Structure 1
Amino acid sequence: MTRTYRRLALAALLLALVVVSLGAYVRLSDAGLGCPDWPGCYGQLVGVPDEAHEIHAAEHRFGQPVEAPKAWKEMIHRYAAGLLGLAILALAVLAWRERGRRSPWLEVLLLAVVAGQALLGMLTVTRLLKPVIVTSHLLGGMSTLALLAVLVLRDMATRRAQAKVLPGGLRLLAALALLALFIQIALGGWVSSNYAAAICADFPTCQGSWWPEMDAHHAFTLDRELGATANGALLSGAALTAIHWTHRLFAGLVLVLAGGFGLRLLVRAETRVYGQCLLTALLLQIGLGIANVLLQLPLALAVAHNTGAALLLCATLAATFRVFQRSEARQPYPAAGFTRHFQAVR
């Protein structure tokens, strides 16, 4: 792969991490509806209304006051996401031009995910922060980050010697840890999109109990509006508690699987650095989660918790990619011997 492609893929990966963090910042600072329209803001594709006549016209047209600080947060996020989309489009074009040497379908898939992200971004605004759409948008961002990480890891693997085959049990543990982490990220997105993070202000208990009152039925009904049940009634505190407590309980499973995976990597010389990175990211993420509960969700820590999830995903994905690498294929001994004999006869 060309040097241009490699640099662009790495730049896109870093930009995706920035976009994920900006998205969390916009959501957690209540700026998700800072712009009532899409893709522009109060009818403007560049900037937000700041002159008196622009503000008056925007408020008359959209029927709500212009909050410039929130609007700028949302637009900066959109500009960064747009730039990321262009970078991914360029990657797809470069890969398609070199399709004779390798398949470009991963880049094409990535482009499709980004297109879906744009649609979800629009629906997030037009459907007034409906939780299932907001959570899907977050998962789309994480999926974009993960696919870009795979592109970078794949390119790194092609430029170095094939790695030693690792035990099948380690590969199974890697797959389980990665799956559990993705589910946990989805649960975390559900907590955030339902504003349920502050419902439990103590740790390790919740509301002073190991098993607080919960309403799982309304908590995990997907087709409903923000803060409401499917019937339109106010979403209860018990439902918010169920959302938060489920996320916290599942974090224990992630700790066991991802932690066990990291420890297994740590004892092997060829995977030790992967284990160190994974365990560091895991411990950091757990610490940020506990701090957010005890300090009641300060904005900086809440955004850091989202960024930490992205970093943990990348660390787990890199370790999983390494574990699934295989050494160069070798022929069974009889076949190899037959080949050598045939060449000698010739």
Structure 2
Amino acid sequence: MNWLKAWLERPGTLRGAALASLVANIGIVCTGGLVRLTGSGLGCPTWPRCTDDSYVTTAEMGNRGLIEFGNRTLTSVVSVLAILALAAAWRQRTALRPALLVLAGVAAQAILGGITVRMALNPWTVMAHFLLSMVLIALAYALWDRTREASPRWTAPRAMRSAGVLITVISAGVLVLGTVVTGSGPHSGDSKAARTGFDPESVSQLHTDVVFVLVGLSVAMWFGLRALGAPLRVTRAAAILVAVELAQGVVGFVQYFTGLPWPVVILHMLGACLVWTATLNLLARVTAASAQEPARTEDHSLASTA
């Protein structure tokens, strides 16, 4: 087992596992969207079994059973990556806390997914299921960010740090409103699933209005950072966020005016994850960068028995 210990102690192992965990958590949001958009949300009508008599899908359940069971199977991939990242963090005595939180979040998400199925895709639990994925993406991003090489110190002005926090809060609000739009629209995941009862047109307009606020603040942030002569890595983070937001806006308008075709909706879900990740990246660059230290070896006490 010496080879395994040596492999886990390589910095590249933790960095790769953290990045893979982030990508996997974004990917499973998209596959979960496929489940909902194809009406396969109750393809496996119970949990943790797929049926009352089987843990796996059966031929009688058809494609919807396969799609739902396939999404459940991907949870094991996300879990393995989280365990791998935790093992590497333990051996390297660094970033143990975020690695633990990622694994705990994956477990919580699996349980919430089961509750969502048992509640016959109640729109509020479906919304919570998606939003917990956004929390998981944030945790996975934090873990990955801790494994990156330390950048030269740069202290952002307090106004820029506050603006970064405000943009993050509004970005989170856009995600919440997006789930309300989804919970009020036609793609429920199953023909018998309930809806929120909100008017889809009204909540869509509110969602769009907040998106415009987010884009405006992001553009202002980019101009402000350039005017301050911020390092390239910081202004680039703002530019990436603006670019992803604009691309997401185009996809959003396309899906709205074309009647919500499911391939475009899945692309919009991917875009939501990318906007959120870009937001987290900007926040890290304008806040964490000011307190960043070259050495990252916390959690010694927790890992001292490794």
**Fold agreement, TM-score > 0.5:** yes
List runs of 5+ in structure 2 lacking aligned partners.
Answer: 1-9, 188-192, 294-306
1:30–1:264 CA distance, 2 compared to 1 (3 A): farther
Alignment correspondent of 2:19:
10
Q: Structure 1 vs Structure 2: percent identity of aligned residues? A: 26
Q: Which of 249, 265, 270 pairs up with 1:307?
A: 270
**Could you tell me whether the CA contact under 8 Å between 1:266 and 1:274 is conserved in 2?**
no
1:103–1:305 CA distance, 2 compared to 1 (3 A): closer
Deviations 1:261-302 (A, max 9, x none): 234345545223212211110101111111111111111111
Q: Which of 211, 227, 233 pairs up with 2:195?
A: 227
Q: Which of 84, 89, 94 pairs up with 1:90?
A: 84
Q: Which has the larger displacement, 251-260 or 10-19?
A: 251-260
Q: Secondary structure at the match of 2:154?
A: coil
Q: Secondary structure at the match of 1:227?
A: coil
Q: Which of 270, 293, 303 pairs up with 2:256?
A: 293
In 2, Cα distance between equivalents of 1:78 and 1:262? 40
Matched, 1:35 2:44: yes
Q: Which has the larger displacement, 253-262 or 286-295?
A: 253-262
RMSD: 2.3
Deviations 1:174-232 (A, max 9, x none): 110011111111111121123268xxxxxxxxxxxxxxxxxxxxxxxxxxx8236xxxx
Matched, 1:109 2:101: yes
What amino acid sits opposite 2:39 in the alignment?
D
In 1, Cα distance between equivalents of 2:71 and 2:292? 44
Deviations 1:100-140 (A, max 9, x none): xx352222222222121011100111101111110110011
Q: How does 1:238-277 map to 2 (within 5 A)?
A: 239-266=199-226, 268-270=230-232, 271-277=234-240
What amino acid sits opposite 2:27 in the alignment?
V
Q: Secondary structure at the match of 1:326?
A: helix
Q: How does 1:15-30 map to 2 (within 5 A)?
A: 15-30=24-39
Larger radius of gyration: 1
In 2, Cα distance between equivalents of 1:328 and 1:82? 34
| CA apart distance, 1:84 | 0.2
Q: How many residues align?
A: 275
In 1, Cα distance between equivalents of 2:117 and 2:40? 11
In 2, Cα distance between equivalents of 1:328 and 1:150? 13
Alignment correspondent of 1:202:
none
In 2, Cα distance between equivalents of 1:176 and 1:196? 32
TM-score (norm 1): 0.73
Q: Which of 116, 134, 143 pairs up with 2:135?
A: 143
More helix per residue: 2
Moved over 6 A (4+): none
